[in-house]
Amino acid sequence: MGIRAWGPGPDIMNLRDIHTPVLLDRCIELLAPALERDGAVFVDATLGMGGHSEAFLERFPALRLVGLDRDQDALRIARERLARFADRVTLVHTVYDGIAEAVASAGFDAADAILFDLGVSSLQLDVADRGFAYSQDAPLDMRMDQSTGTTAADILATYGEGDLRRIFERYGEEKLAGRYARAIIAARAQAPIERSGRLVDILVTATPYAAQRTGHPAKRVFQALRIEVNRELAVLERAIPAALGILPVGGRIVVLAYQSLEDRLVKREFARSSASTAPSGLPVELPEHTPRFRLLVKGAELAPDDERATNPRATSVRLRAAERVEAAV
């Protein structure tokens, strides 16, 4: 299991040191107006090691937290980290497109504020036996929820060349997708590709020398496999509308995305909900056509230079935020 690398139990102080929550103050600032009332409900849709959640619970003493994660190791660590707030905390093991059901199961019919901090956690990346990192040799698992689903090794063993090429292109935006797919098919005819070290070797060998100087050859393929294993984009595409659907008027949402595919999807959903649905040419906007959300930041906000310099995760973050201004019709 993943947390073995931390010794007999999770070392909470150590976790705090290695993982600094990204754009924490900005997230609090943007969501605070929705959380000032006593008993306000905050949903952390990507609890991880509970870094953001801990800060929200400290900042708002009457806050109720519903924390979601599909990774049981993350939930175990967060539960321990947040133990001193136990009477205000409900943690739910779920994929985040089940956000509405999770909030209902915690006894609430709405969420005042919601945070998504997308992607993998430092825990998942750093614990070698999860197989997420191309820099460490490990079994090619890559499931965020290790209790269910297909592993990266299964995909490499069963997908045809066309499907491998498609996921490397679509989810990795990898220019050498075809070449890598061919190399994998040839290599697996010799022996199954079960470890990240072997996959890295195959990819490096298949990469022309000139391309080796533009970043690690395995980076985009690993990202693509992770997205495919966890169905990340399909889940997010369902999760954002589901999250918007449980915000009352005045409710707020912040999403932190770390790669352009996810950010594009969030941008599209936010744009759709903050646009008027009036048919063009109508002289007066009818109430049922007014936008239900307003955007709280212009475009996507990046982390400030000082945070980018000290927290590697912050270098690629794009923050988007919105507030419900109209009830659903």
Q: Which residues fall in the annotated binding site?
A: 50-52, 69, 96, 117, 124
Q: Is 217 near ligand SAM (CB under 6 A)?
A: no
Token digits for 35? Answer: 């959380």
- Member of 119, 217, 251, 291 binding ligand SAM (CB under 6 A): 119
> Cα separation of 91 and 88, whole Å?
10
Least distance to ligand SAM, CB of residue 269, Å: 15
Token digits for 180? Answer: 């890598």
E-assigned strands of 46-123? 64-69, 89-93, 113-117
Window of 4-12, 100-108, 113-121, 168-176 that interacts with ligand SAM by CB under 6 A: 113-121
Give the list of residues 6+ apart from residue 17 with CB closer than 8 angstroms, or none. Answer: none
Q: Is 46 near ligand SAM (CB under 6 A)?
A: yes
Q: Is 52 near ligand SAM (CB under 6 A)?
A: yes
Q: Is 19 near ligand SAM (CB under 6 A)?
A: yes
Q: Is 112 near ligand SAM (CB under 6 A)?
A: no
Residue 6: its H or E element = none
Strand partners, 93: 69
Q: Is 2 near ligand SAM (CB under 6 A)?
A: no
Contact predicate 46/96, CB 8 Å = yes
Cβ proximity to ligand SAM: between 181 and 265 the closer is: 265
Window of 31-39, 117-125, 200-208, 263-271 that interacts with ligand SAM by CB under 6 A: 117-125
In the chain, % helix, strand, coil (3-state, to 5) comes to 50, 10, 35
The DSSP annotation for 203-272 comes to HHHHS-HHHHTSS-TTHHHHHHHHHHHHTHHHHHHHHHHHHHHTPPTT-EEEEEE-SHHHHHHHHHHHHH
Least distance to ligand SAM, CB of residue 75, Å: 9
Window of 43-51, 186-194, 216-224, 297-305 that interacts with ligand SAM by CB under 6 A: 43-51
Q: Is 267 near ligand SAM (CB under 6 A)?
A: no
* Residues of the shown chain interacting with ligand SAM in the complex, contacts defined by CB under 6 A: 19, 21, 46, 48-52, 68-71, 74, 95-96, 117, 119, 121, 144, 235
